[in-house]
Amino acid sequence: MTIIDITRSLAGDALVYPGDTPPRFSQRDAGLYLISELRMSSHSGTHIDAPIHYLKTGATVDELPLSHLVGPCRVLDVSGAGSLIDAADLEGRIDGCKRILLRTGFSQCSTFREDYPSLTPGAAHYLISQGSLCVGIDSFSIERFDCDGSVHRKLLGSGCLIIELLDLSRVPEGDYTLVALPLKLSGIDGAPARVVLLDEDGVE
């Protein structure tokens, strides 16, 4: 079995959504050991959105059902869809899989741009109609930059958790086992996560 790390590294030069706190780390020598202080947004790097993030009510990140974030998943290559991924780009490709990761090609990007790939409301509705428990994307957000929050609210309000800013650059389309574990931050709207795929065929 191969373990594929699909988490973006957190560093001072990490990609940051406009308005979020850039990660800042400082380390000091305490004599017998080193210890670091961390400052960053709850949505820094690869992270998971909790329902309270956009609904302003409901589960916080420490209350998320981990069963939604661990289990069989499918990586779909939607890099041909452009900046807006619609239901037509997903139809007939899910086959009952409840955890979907979208490979848009943004994994190779190292700077912010407003036209990052995202879902249309129609695509969100389609995922919910398929019983999705979790959807992940390799761009900044599941929803376009000039959004009204409807995609987030549709997904989170229907019990579908969201993972954003994955690194799917080394992952071919196919079926894997997803393990996505957010930091257990009490009462918070989201958290950075270490996300990996398990490939039972052992091929990256």
Catalytic residues: 53
Cα 49 to Cα 147: distance, rounded to the nearest angstrom: 16
Report residue 71: phi and psi, to 5°: 145, -175
Amino acid present at 178: L
Cα 203 to Cα 142: distance, rounded to the nearest angstrom: 28
Cα 6 to Cα 176: distance, rounded to the nearest angstrom: 12
What would the 3-class secondary structure string for 122-157 be?
HHHHHHHHCCCCEEEECCCCCCCCCCCCHHHHHHHH
Amino acid present at 77: D
Structural contact between residues 17 and 130, judged by C-beta atoms closer than 8 angstroms: no
Residue 119: beta bridge partners? 85
- Strand bridging mode 84-85 / 118-119: parallel
